[in-house]
Structure 1
Amino acid sequence: MAHAPQIRIPATYLRGGTSKGVFFRLQDLPGAAQVPGAARDALLMRVIGSPDPYGKQIDGMGAATSSTSKTVIVSKSSKPGHDVDYLFGQVAIDAAFVDWSGNCGNLSAAVGPFAISSGLVDPERVPDNGVAVVRIWQANIGKTIIAHVPMTKGAVQETGDFELDGVTFPAAEVQLEFMDPAAEEEGAGGAMFPTGNLVDDLEVPGVGTLKATMINAGIPTIFVNAEAIGYTGTELQDAINSDPAALAKLETIRAHGALRMGLIKSLDEITTRQHTPKVAFVAKPAGYVASSGKHVNASDVDLLVRAMSMGKLHHAMMGTAAVAIGTAAAIPGTLVNLAAGGGERNAVRFGHPSGTLRVGAQASESNGAWTVTKAIMSRSARVLMEGWVRVPAAASED
């Protein structure tokens, strides 16, 4: 019996922020996978090791969490004023699909370094020493991200003393600017607040009527008060992820919020939309011990936030959700803003399961409508491995 050989595809395995993913140049993918469709999805799933009924992704590059079941495709941009196009694919772990509905803010930090090292940025735009400004078109959501990438002696600088809670070792800082982060393709005509309200009464069968801020910024996110669903906002992963009833409750909130935001037309569609929207719960500052053993004092933060990703409580905070947090905090009257003490503010430091994170946003109001010009945060990125991934030839032909 003849067996299909394995093929090898140039790839780089990178950490960006608190996530890891397999990065490809578009031109290096097999021909059938250079365009959207079933062949591309099948290839990326096989690379990551999905679908895996065991939930471990042993036979692939994934590591069985939402933070590590990720793929990125980068190419030179044909869009004026941009250097590269960046496409993010969130690979489901135990189901056969790739969710293309949103961005990964953490891996956004690795796109600029990867693009420079891969020869996708015009060398004239990259200084030998200093900071390279990489203009990224985020193709999933049609938004611009500006990455400030440190350079030393003609190479991307990856080592440094920038510390990021949720990442064990320090590295070089990569500042990201998410330009005009309110989504345009999502929800009711692309409004930042698709219901038209800063706070809504969200009816969730079996849970009750919850106050909710539903926002499209960075990534569609549903914010509720921790207290309203029986939490304090100091929870770590095990408190939620080991409780099937808690996971079911939060997924039900997510489904009804998605329906109210106009992201889905019926509740059953939520099963094929795992990446977006996110659901998060907020609380006023309180002290707790982070997952690393670090003590976070109430005075260290403006508010507490816990967020769900792919059906589980995230170990830190998704970068795109951080953009949503910063944006909502900058707009007086949202649940996020109120948890942070209310009033006008252009930056917040929030507590998450791994520690704290600061994010800024520039918001303004005109004729009753809010706009945000950009959100800013710092992450880090590092190449973990580069070379080729290998997959059975059939996976690249499906």
Structure 2
Amino acid sequence: MHKPQIRIPATYMRGGTSKGVFFRLQDLPLEAQVPGAARDALLMRVIGSPDPYGKHTDGMGGATSSTSKCVIIAPSTQPDHDVDYLYGQVAIGDAFVDWSGNCGNLSTAVGPFAISQGFIDPSRLPENGTLAVRVWQANIGKTIIVHVPIINGQVQETGDFELDGVTFPAAEIVLEFIDPADEGEGEGGGAMFPTGQLVDDLEVPELGTLKVTMINAGIPTVFVNAADIGYTGSELQEAINGDAKALAMLESIRAHAAVRMGLIDSVEDAPKRQHSPKVAFVAPAATYTASSGKVIGGDDIDLRVRAMSMGKLHHAMMGTASVAIASAAAVPGTLVNLAAGGGSREAVRFGHPSGTLRVGAAAEQVDGLWTVKKAVMSRSARVLMEGAVRVPDHTDI
């Protein structure tokens, strides 16, 4: 006998250049309130995965890495934090939810969601001003402070802040990623640079030896020089995503770097950890035309960066990878720093396929190891739709 669909309260939100389905933990079916197969199956069904057609026609996903996301928010389990934020990157063609990392873009929407959904004591809200929402990022165990603008006692969503990669302006939200370096398990014993080196020689069978910078900050990321893999650094999505050979090459770099960083045991494990590490290629500043048709002047940026997300070139830049870029740029001698012209810096403006982004990060050495105490960037977020999602009874999923 066919059962009726179940109804789950949810909010569909854009955060930065991503969008996803947001849930309160207590609104999920009991079986999905804890990690495991039932939760994964439910979220895949919400998004519409796995979809061999790659369209997400029968779900809320958008069939891209930027739009196949789910977020679960709960009262915080940590002292001095407001909410716990758990992020699931739902694979498109495979039956898989990757919980290995954070989404920096959707982090922007966590603050507004927490306020509007009653996780914040109303007495803390200013009539007009900004409220700092302290978020515990449960996937990676890090603190994010989301500075949410408030107007007339409500979250301000509209505004004139423009973000490249997002069509319309909105209110500016400032994000602070506190101590963003991850505790990796590579040769460096948990340092921001997991091998203990700013630049490594990475053996990739199909390519030989590549110079790379591997960093655990924001999200584990491996950087390679664009010229070393046959690119200029001005590529847009169509130059990469329709080229099966290019995608295989970049995935091979990612897989071998993941082993070297201590994130997986062998390259065969890479498909099980699709969300991280990221692979990105960098090049010195130069003028190029963004996907919108806007000309990005070489004098307006410090370097160009292109990054892969879930096997495809990202249309703009992931928020977590932006933290990695800024952190690497702040350390003299990394490939990112050298592409930006070298020297010391506390902020970087890089060009990506949709335009530019400025991120602040200051690096320092503590006991001989590099670290970044905070990375700061501006994004925007807004509610696209709220109500409930409907899916077939989860016991049948």
Tell me which amino acid in the other structure corresponds to 2:83: V
CA distance in 2, matches of 1:281, 1:186: 23
Equivalences for 1:1-398 in 2 at 5 Å?
A: 2-184=1-183, 187-188=186-187, 189-393=189-393, 395=394
Preserved CA contact (<8 Å) 2:184 2:261: no
CA distance in 2, matches of 1:68, 1:124: 34
CA distance in 1, matches of 2:37, 2:70: 15
Tell me which amino acid in the other structure corresponds to 1:288: Y
Q: Report Cα offsets for 1:266-325 as digits up to 9, x if no partner.
A: 111001111000000000001110000000010010000000000000000000000000
Q: Percent identity?
A: 76
Tell me by how many angstroms 1:396 deviates. 5.2
Tell me by how many angstroms 1:366 deviates. 2.9
Secondary structure of 1:169's aligned partner: coil
Secondary structure of 2:380's aligned partner: strand
Q: Report Cα offsets for 1:124-162 as digits up to 9, x if no partner.
A: 322221001000000000000000000011110000010
Preserved CA contact (<8 Å) 1:141 1:185: no
Distance of aligned partners of 1:324 and 1:310 in 2 relative to their CA distance in 1, 3 Å threshold: same
CA distance in 1, matches of 2:23, 2:349: 33
Tell me which amino acid in the other structure corresponds to 2:323: V
> TM-score, normalized by length of structure 1?
0.98
Tell me by how many angstroms 1:69 deviates. 0.2
Tell me by how many angstroms 1:186 deviates. 5.1
Preserved CA contact (<8 Å) 1:33 1:396: no
Tell me by how many angstroms 1:187 deviates. 3.9
Distance of aligned partners of 1:185 and 1:40 in 2 relative to their CA distance in 1, 3 Å threshold: farther
CA distance in 1, matches of 2:325, 2:315: 16
Preserved CA contact (<8 Å) 1:76 1:121: no
Secondary structure of 2:385's aligned partner: strand
Secondary structure of 1:274's aligned partner: coil
Tell me which amino acid in the other structure corresponds to 1:172: A
CA distance in 1, matches of 2:186, 2:212: 16
Preserved CA contact (<8 Å) 1:51 1:93: yes
Distance of aligned partners of 1:148 and 1:127 in 2 relative to their CA distance in 1, 3 Å threshold: same
> TM-score, normalized by length of structure 2?
0.98
Preserved CA contact (<8 Å) 2:49 2:94: yes
CA distance in 2, matches of 1:185, 1:37: 24
CA distance in 1, matches of 2:169, 2:274: 31
Q: Report Cα offsets for 1:193-234 as digits up to 9, x if no partner.
A: 111100000010111211000000000000000000000000
CA distance in 1, matches of 2:111, 2:186: 29
Tell me by how many angstroms 1:191 deviates. 1.6
Secondary structure of 1:333's aligned partner: coil
Tell me by how many angstroms 1:122 deviates. 2.0
Tell me by how many angstroms 1:362 deviates. 1.8
CA distance in 2, matches of 1:347, 1:278: 21
Tell me by how many angstroms 1:397 deviates. 6.3
CA distance in 2, matches of 1:87, 1:186: 22
Secondary structure of 1:159's aligned partner: coil
Q: Which consecutive residues of structure 1, in runs of 5 or more, have no partner in the other structure? A: none
Tell me which amino acid in the other structure corresponds to 2:259: L
Preserved CA contact (<8 Å) 2:350 2:357: yes
Preserved CA contact (<8 Å) 1:42 1:396: no
Q: Report Cα offsets for 1:59-109 as digits up to 9, x if no partner.
A: 000010000000000011121010000000000000001000000000000
Preserved CA contact (<8 Å) 2:149 2:172: yes
CA distance in 2, matches of 1:78, 1:213: 35
Tell me which amino acid in the other structure corresponds to 1:302: D
Tell me by how many angstroms 1:185 deviates. 5.1
